[in-house]
Chains A and B, each alone.
Chain A
Amino acid sequence: MTRVVVSGLGVVSPYGVGAKTFWAGLARGDCAIRPLTVIDTEGFRSRIAAEVPAEVLPTLGVSRRRSRADRIALAAAREALAEADLTPADRANTGLFVGAVGGGMLEGEEWYCEEARTGRPLPRLRALRSILPVSHAESLAWRLRLGGPRETVVMACASGAASIALGADMIRSGGTPLVLAGGVDAITRICFMGFNALKLLDPEPCRPFDRGRRGMSIGEAAAFLVLEDAEHCRARGARVLGELLGAGMTTDAHHVTAPHPEGEGMIRAMAEALAAGDRDPADIGYVNAHGTGTPQNDRVEALALARVFGEGRVLVSSTKSLVGHTMAAAGSVEAAATLLTLQHGLVPPTANLREPDPDVPFDCVPGCARPVELRTALSNSFGFGGQNVSLVFGR
C-alpha cells in the first residue's frame, strides 16, 4: 500500500517566519496572544489575538498589493517547497490542497467600510477578486508552478487538516505523487466580531483545559506540508520529515455551532485515523488537541479522548494556547507542530494552564515543554458545525 511521507514544511506564525522560528516559540512555551493591532477593537469584550508580527510582513518578499492572507500563504508554501527541493517537472505534477475560510476578507472589509462611509460604490477590482478563499490556490498554483489537481477546502476550523487528509488520499489513490497541502487564515473583522458576539472569546489569553477557562483566542498563520509518495521520495533521495500514517474525517451532523455532547463524531474521526494508520490507541504517545479553551469544546474533547485512549493514557497539549486559534490554518499549523514534536522528542506545553480541570483526566503538559521519546502522535481539528479531522503522524 502507498505510504505518504512529509518532505517539506513551511510556517508563518505569530512567532514570525519559518518552521524553525515556529518550533522555537513552541518549545519555549511562549504565548503569542496580545492586544490586537491590525484591526480596531473598540467596544468589544475580547480585544486580543495572536498576530503575525507587523515587522515580519514586509520581509516576506511578497507584494504589499496582495491580501495579508495571500502573503503569508505564499511565504509558507515557498518554504515548504524549497525544503522538498522539487524539480519543475515534479512541480508540474504537484497537487494543491488549500484550507481557507477568510480569504482576503480583511482587505474586503476595508473596502466595504470605505464604501459605506462615502456612500459611493467603489469597485476595487483586486479586493473583490481576492476576497474569496479560492484566491490563495490561484496565486499559489501560478507563482509556484503547481500543475496537479487543485482544491480549496472550506471546512471551518478543520480546513487545514482536511486539506492534508484529502491530499494524502490523492497520493494513495495514485492521482499524483506529490501534494502541497495546508491552510491559511489572516485576522478578519468578521471572524473577530463574530466570535465575540457568540461570547466564545476569552478577554484574557485562552486557557485550554484549565478549570477557569472562559473561551478561545484568535490567531492567524499559514502552514504547508509537502506530502509525497514514500517510494517517489526515496527514489529521488529526498529527506523525510515524518510520515502521515492515517487520517479520519467525520461529521457530527448535530448542530451548527455546538459539538455532539458525547463527542460522537470526534471519537469516530480518531478511531478512523488510527485504523487507517494501522495503529492502536496504545501506540500514540501524544495528542495535539483541538483544545480551543471554550468550556464546551475542551470538555467534550476530553470525553472523546478518554473513550478512545483511556483516561490519562496520552499526553495532551493545545497549540492554540500558544499561537491562538488560527482558523483555517489551525489544522495544518498543528500538523506541523505534531511533526516537529516527533522530530525533536519534545512535547510543547499548554500555556496559561494554572489549575487543570479535574474533569479533564489527562496530563496537559502545563507551562513547560516536556522531553518524551515518541514514535507516533495524533492531531485533532474539530471544526465549527461538527466537522472533524484527526491525523496520525509517525517519525
Chain B
Amino acid sequence: MTQKEILDELKALIVERLKFDPRRAADMTAETTLPKGLEGSLGLDSLDFIELSVAMEERFGIVIDETESLTDEFLSLDSLSRFVLSKVK
C-alpha cells in the first residue's frame, strides 16, 4: 500500500466510524490535524482515538499497542498514514 492509499482509507474510516459528514472528507488533506484543541483540527478526543485505533487495526491488519504514547503519530493525517505505513511493511 502507498501512503496516499492509506490516507484515503483513513479518510473513509473517519467518515464511517467517527460519523463525520462525507462532504468533509473531500476537504481533508495530509495536513489536516486531528486532536481536539488544535485550531482547525477535526477535534478528535480520546474516545475518537480509541475507535479509530480499533478501526485501523481491523482495516490494515496491524496491531497498535495502547500502552505506547502515540500523541505524535495521531497529530495529523500525514503522521498517521506514515505510522500505518511503517506498521504495514
- Enumerate chain A interface residues (CB-CB to B < 8 A): 197-199, 214, 255-258
Contacts and interface: CB of A to CB of B under 8 A. Distances in A.
Interface string B41-56: 0000111001000100
A258 B46 contact: yes
B45 A198 contact: no
A214 B67 CA distance: 9
B66 interface: yes
Contacts of B50: 198-199
A256 B51 CA distance: 14
Interface of B: 45-47, 50, 54, 66-67
Contact of A256 (B47, B66, B67): B47
A274 to B, nearest CB: 31
Contact of A255 (B45, B54, B66, B67): B45
B63 to A, nearest CB: 11
Nearest to A215: B66
B54 A197 contact: yes
B47 A257 contact: yes
A359 B7 CA distance: 40
Contacts of B54: 197
Given A199-B66, A214-B67, 9 more contacts: A199-B50, A255-B45, A255-B46, A255-B47, A256-B47, A257-B46, A257-B47, A258-B46, A258-B47
A198 B50 CA distance: 7
13 contacts: A197-B54, A198-B50, A199-B50, A199-B66, A214-B67, A255-B45, A255-B46, A255-B47, A256-B47, A257-B46, A257-B47, A258-B46, A258-B47
B54 to A, nearest CB: 7
A197 B17 CA distance: 14
